[in-house]
Copies of this chain bind each other. A is one copy, B any other.
C-alpha cells in the first residue's frame, strides 16, 4: 500500500514533468507560468511546489529526465564493437529518433535547457561534457582500430558531431526540415554521417 501511494505520487510527479515539457516546448521557459504547467497537468498550481522546489528545479528535472535516456544509450554505443561509421550513424539515428518520438522534449532540450543562463553552469554543463567525453572515447577507440586519420582531435571531433546533430535537430524543430518526411530525415542523416566520417571534399 505504501508502494501504491509512492507510485501515485511518482505518477503525479511525472505528470507534472510531462506537462512542463509540453508547456516549455510551446511557450519557452520564460514565456510560461507555473500556472500553465499546472493547468496542463490538470492540478492546482500549488501542487507543483510539492514536487519541485521552484520553477528552475522543474526545468532541471525536465532536463535530467530527458538526458538520462540519451546518455545511457550513448554508453551502450561506445561499448559496441562496430565500425565508426555505424556508431556515428547510430548516434544520429538515436537523436533523430528521439525527436520523432517526442519532439517536444527535444524542443525543450534544444531550445530551452541548453540556453538557459542558469544552466550554463554546474550540473548541466557536466552532463553535456560527459556526453562529449563518452563520444570522444568512442572516437579514440575507433582510432585505436585505425579508423580515424591523424590530426583529428577526438574530443573536438565529438563536439563537432554534436554541433552537427544539434543544428539539424534545430532545423527540424524550427521547421526548415520536416521530421515527418522520410526523405528529409534520411538525407539529413546521411549527410551528417558522410560529412563527419568522410568530409565534403572529393
Contacts and interface: CB of A to CB of B under 8 A. Distances in A.
B156 A201 contact: no
A159 B177 CA distance: 11
Interface residues of A, number: 52
Interface in A147-202: 147-153, 156-157, 159-160, 162-168, 170-171, 174, 176, 187-188, 190-192, 194-202
B157 A167 contact: no
B168 A160 contact: yes
A117 to B, nearest CB: 4
Nearest to A125: B174
A128 B27 CA distance: 21
Interface string A109-150: 001101101001000010001000000000100000011111
Contact of A152 (B170, B176, B200): B200
B148 A159 contact: no
A31 interface: yes
Given A117-B31, A174-B120, A200 B163 contact: no
| Copies of the polypeptide in the assembly | 4
Contact of A201 (B27, B165, B190, B198): B198
Contacts of A197: 199-201
Contacts of A191: 152-153, 156-157, 160
Nearest to A114: B115
Contacts of A202: 146-150
16 contacts: A31-B117, A84-B201, A115-B115, A146-B202, A147-B201, A147-B202, A148-B200, A151-B194, A156-B187, A156-B191, A156-B192, A160-B192, A160-B195, A163-B170, A197-B199, A199-B199
